[in-house]
Amino acid sequence: MLYHVHMTVNIPADLDPDEAARVKATEKAYSQDLQRQGVWRHIWRLSGLYENISIFDCRDNDHLHEVLTGLPLYPYMDIHVTPLNRHPSSIRDDDT
């Protein structure tokens, strides 16, 4: 099942800079692994913001929850999820 996920990152200003750098590096590795697995299909940065729009391909709602709560930056995020359904006019075979 596909999900449109909008993530806004709000790292506290008082978070130790070394800890912030560590969390960001761990987040990058985790997200790239999910991309290689085909779970995190697309990711776009919103220009000028610490936000992204992503498309996830998960088995179900529980799987998406597991993936999102596994994000190292999850404690610092506001996340909005919209489930997606294939549009009957789509000509793409890979958008299910």
Q: What is the mean pLDDT of residues 15-21?
A: 97
- Token pair 């993936």 is at which residue? 67
Count of other CB atoms within 10 angstroms of residue 33: 11
pTM for the complete prediction?
Answer: 0.91
Q: Given this model, what pLDDT does residue 96 score?
A: 64
What is the Cα–Cα distance from 58 to 2, expressed in whole angstroms? 6
Band the pLDDT of 90: cuts 50, 70, 90: confident
Q: Given this model, what pLDDT does residue 92 score?
A: 84
Domain ranges of the chain: 2-84
Summarised one tens digit per residue, pLDDT across range 66-83 is: 999 999 999 999 999 999
Summarised one tens digit per residue, pLDDT across range 28-59 is: 999 999 999 999 999 999 999 999 999 999 99
CATH architecture of 2-84: 2-Layer Sandwich (3.30)
